[in-house]
Each structure stands twice: as structure tokens, then as C-alpha cells.
């Protein structure tokens, strides 16, 4: 776990005690706004008025962030139990549609096949992060890949590491005559959706289309969740795959610099993700697309992630607990995000996301 997170957790009890001594036990802030479930800042006392169990499930891409946010939320909302089952975006959307969870994490938008009724949900953007192109290749510590080269690797048109196209992207690098092992998600995944959407947009040679699942060549290897793909790469010299930034760093993987829209090779980083977010157009439903963004410092495979909430909940306590938790993610959680390798939302988008919660009945 990140050392900054541990330090902050050690101090959180002191902070709560200070809030209590300052008289923060009431439900309103100084201007009379209910901040436990509304769209402004909040204190521990406001969250402490909430209660109940709220279940979430879905994308593995934001799992590290939601895990930390849930743990921190518990320190200010002791009567609320929040759980999150990292089962992939595809399954998360299906579980949400079947009323098995109260909120869902997804990195991709809802399709008719997901079983979620139209007008029954809202998108709430939470954070963003790079999708790394992670690799394991003995003797090669730095790697650069252009979009078309990347596409040809993942659809297995390029089969060896010393292929002329990879060599052209990496002048002066001694590439071995070694077979490439391609690793990908086997489950329905928003990470797959965003990675393949990027290739579809940036690489004219890409022919596998895009989606939560695609028909990967039979010679490739699939695994469950980002952690499963990371494990294949870590164990196989010659392997390459796409893995979220947090899990790639946690697994100690190397990742390639990717050629962006401005022709610059940029390595995955939170700064690169933030640069990509700045140029993204936000739709009315608050979905947005930072993939293949313009800008010299933009990391081109930057993915958004969302929480799906219902437009109405069966009882007031459930509604307030969900709104309170998501409010916490959009306020206090944005400070936490960089500590666990995610980029916080731009201020304007955060404001829109908080306003989205006021639509819940």
C-alpha cells in the first residue's frame, strides 16, 4: 500500500476527534447545506448520520481507488457498510441491471445487451487513469510503440520482438529474436473496451473492432481482471498486455511509451492522463472520451471510469447512503486518487458529477 495512504490513515483518527471537538456532530454546515448527501464539502458528522449496507460491483480498473475510498469512508460514516466486488465492467453492468448491486463500476457505457433499463440510471464520472502497455522482455528496459505497430502486435500480425516495425519505433535498441506472447482480458472488461477503442481510433490497421470483449486470435492468452493479465506478463518472458496503471505499478511491470496524436512517445503517467482529460469533450450524460487526445504531453490510452447509480432507490436510507458515499468519492476521494495512481477529475467535471447526484429520487 502507498506510504502516503498509511500516513494519512494514521492521522485520520486525530482529524475525526478534532472535528467532534469543533462541534461537527450536526447535519448541516455553516451555511445550512446538508453536506452528507449534497453537492458541497462535507464533515465527518454529516456522513455519520448515514446508515445501511450498500453493495457495489464491476470494473477492476478502478478497484484500487474504490478499495481505498471505501476504507476511508468508513472512518467518517461508521454506520454504513460499503462493499465492492471487482468482477469486470461487463458483469458489473449485468448485476446492476438485475438489482443485485446498488451501484456499479464501469469503464464503458451501457449497451442494450447489458440488461440495464434506459432512464433507470445515471453516469457519475469518478477518476481516470492510463491503461499501460506492459511488457516483459529480458534486456529491454525501454520500449516505444506507435499505434499501428501496437495494433499489429495485438492482432498477431507481428509475431517476434525483432520485427522491422518494432525496430523502426526503437532505433538503437537491441531487440531479441523472440516470440511475442499477447495477454488480454478474458472477461467482459471496460479496460478492453477502452484499449480497443483507442486502437480503432488511432491505428488504421486495427481489424478486431472494439468492445468489452473482442475475438482475439487463438494464439493469445486471456486472463480474468487486470491482475490476471499482469500475472501472465510477469511470468512470461516475451509477453505484452494491457493493464491499468495501478495494477501495473503494483506488479512491478515495465510499460512502453506510446506515440500520441502529436507524434510524441509518452509513457503512462498521471500527468499524461491529466493532460488527456483537459481536451476531452463531456457529453450531456457526463460520459467523455479522453482516448487519443491531442497535446504533446497527453498519454493517448487514458481511460475514464464511472459509477452507475439508480435514478431512484427503494427507501430513503439506501438513497442517502449511496449519495453520501459517491459524494465522498467526488470530494475527499479526489485528494486520495493520486496516492493510489489515479488522476482526479477536472474541477468543472467534478462539479457536474456532484450535480448529477441531485437527480436521484
* Structural domains in the chain, sorted by start: 3-15+41-127+306-357 (3.40.190.10), 130-278 (3.40.190.10)
pLDDT-derived band at 37, boundaries 50, 70, 90? very low
Summary count for the chain: helices (H), strands (E): 13, 13
DSSP strand pairing (343-344 vs 52-58): unpaired
pLDDT-derived band at 41, boundaries 50, 70, 90? very low
pLDDT-derived band at 228, boundaries 50, 70, 90? very high
Please report the pLDDT score of residue 218 as a whole number: 97
pTM of whole model > 0.75?
yes
Instruction: Give Cα 133 to chain centroid, integer Å.
Output: 15
Are the C-beta atoms of 105 and 92 separated by less than 8 Å?
yes
Query: How many angstroms separate the CA atoms of 182 and 284, rounded?
Result: 37
Taking alpha carbons only, the member of 284, 273, 251 closest to residue 64 is 251
Please report the pLDDT score of residue 154 as a whole number: 98
Residue with cell 449519495: 323
Please report the pLDDT score of residue 107 as a whole number: 96
- Find all residues with CB under 8 Å of 52, minimum gap 6, and list them: 79, 80, 81, 317, 318, 321
What three-state secondary structure class fits 41? coil
Are the C-beta atoms of 108 and 193 separated by less than 8 Å?
yes
pLDDT-derived band at 159, boundaries 50, 70, 90? very high
Query: How many angstroms separate the CA atoms of 150 and 170, rounded?
Result: 13
Instruction: Give Cα 159 to chain centroid, integer Å.
Output: 30
Reported as a single tens digit per residue, the pLDDT across 76-124 is 999 999 999 999 999 999 999 999 999 999 999 999 999 999 999 999 9
Query: How many angstroms separate the CA atoms of 284 and 359, rounded?
Result: 14
Query: How many angstroms separate the CA atoms of 215 and 195, rounded?
Result: 14
Please report the pLDDT score of residue 31 as a whole number: 34
Please report the pLDDT score of residue 279 as a whole number: 83
Taking alpha carbons only, the member of 334, 273, 335, 248 closest to residue 130 is 273
Reported as a single tens digit per residue, the pLDDT across 308-349 is 999 999 999 999 999 999 999 999 999 999 999 999 999 999
Instruction: Give Cα 157 to chain centroid, integer Å.
Output: 29
**Residue 61 vs residue 12, higher pLDDT:** 61
Query: How many angstroms separate the CA atoms of 82 and 314, rounded?
Result: 17
- Weakest mean pLDDT among 10-14, 124-128, 280-284: 10-14
* Mean pLDDT of the 61-72 span: 97
DSSP state of 257: E
Are the C-beta atoms of 249 and 192 separated by less than 8 Å?
no
- Weakest mean pLDDT among 18-32, 235-249, 258-272: 18-32
Paired strand residues for 244: 131
Alpha helix stretches (DSSP H) within the chain? 3-21, 44-48, 63-74, 89-97, 147-154, 164-169, 190-202, 225-235, 245-250, 270-278, 316-330, 332-336, 347-357
Are the C-beta atoms of 180 and 136 separated by less than 8 Å?
no
Q: What are phi and psi of 202, to 5 degrees?
A: -105, -20
DSSP strand pairing (80-86 vs 52-58): parallel
pLDDT over threshold 50, residue 18 = no
Are the C-beta atoms of 155 and 208 separated by less than 8 Å?
yes
Reported as a single tens digit per residue, the pLDDT across 189-225 is 999 999 999 999 999 999 999 999 999 999 999 999 9
Strands across the sheet containing 144-145: 144-145, 257-259, 265-266
Amino acid at each position: 500500500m502507498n506510504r502516503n495512504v498509511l500516513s494519512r490513515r494514521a492521522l485520520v483518527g486525530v482529524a475525526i476527534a478534532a472535528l467532534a471537538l469543533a462541534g461537527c456532530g450536526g447535519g448541516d454546515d455553516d451555511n445550512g447545506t446538508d453536506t452528507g448527501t449534497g453537492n458541497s464539502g462535507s464533515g465527518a458528522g454529516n456522513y455519520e448520520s448515514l446508515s445501511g449496507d450498500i453493495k457495489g460491483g464491476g470494473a477492476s480498473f478502478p478497484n484500487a481507488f474504490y478499495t481505498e475510498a471505501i476504507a476511508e469512508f468508513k472512518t467518517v460514516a461508521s454506520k454504513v457498510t460499503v462493499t465492492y466486488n471487482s468482477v469486470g465492467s461487463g458483469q458489473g453492468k449485468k448485476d446492476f441491471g438485475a438489482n443485485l448491486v446498488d451501484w456499479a463500476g464501469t469503464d464503458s457505457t451501457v449497451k442494450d445487451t447489458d440488461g440495464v433499463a434506459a432512464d433507470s440510471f445515471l453516469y457519475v464520472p469518478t477518476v481516470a487513469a492510463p491503461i499501460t502497455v506492459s511488457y516483459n522482455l529480458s534486456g529491454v528496459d525501454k520500449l516505444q510503440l506507435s499505434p499501428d505497430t501496437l495494433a499489429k502486435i495485438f492482432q498477431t500480425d507481428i509475431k517476434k520482438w525483432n520485427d522491422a516495425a518494432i525496430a523502426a519505433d526503437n532505433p538503437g535498441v537491441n531487440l531479441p529474436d523472440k516470440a511475442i506472447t499477447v495477454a488480454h482480458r478474458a472477461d467482459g472488461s471496460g479496460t478492453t473496451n477502452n484499449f480497443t477503442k483507442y486502437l480503432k481510433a488511432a491505428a488504421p490497421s486495427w481489424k478486431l473492432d472494439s468492445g468489452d470483449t473482442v475475438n482475439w486470435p487463438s494464439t493469445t492468452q486471456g486472463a480474468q481482471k487486470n491482475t490476471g493479465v499482469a500475472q501472465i506478463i510477469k511470468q512470461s518472458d516475451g509477453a505484452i498486455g494491457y493493464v491499468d496503471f495501478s495494477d501495473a505499478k503494483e506488479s512491478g511491470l515495465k510499460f512502453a511509451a506510446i506515440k500520441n496524436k502529436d507524434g510524441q512517445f509518452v509513457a503512462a503517467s498521471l500527468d499524461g492522463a491529466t493532460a488527456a482529460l483537459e481536451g476531452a469533450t463531456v457529453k450531456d450524460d457526463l460520459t467523455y472520451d479522453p482516448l487519443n487526445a491531442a497535446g504533446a504531453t497527453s498519454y493517448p490510452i487514458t481511460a475514464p471510469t464511472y459509477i452507475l447509480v439508480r435514478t431512484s432507490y427503494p427507501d430513503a436510507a439506501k438513497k442517502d447512503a449511496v449519495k453520501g458515499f459517491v459524494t465522498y468519492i467526488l470530494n475527499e476521494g479526489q485528494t486520495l486518487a493520486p496516492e493510489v495512481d489515479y488522476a482526479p477529475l477536472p474541477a468543472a467535471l467534478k462539479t457536474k458529477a456532484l450535480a448529477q447526484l441531485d437527480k436521484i429520487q
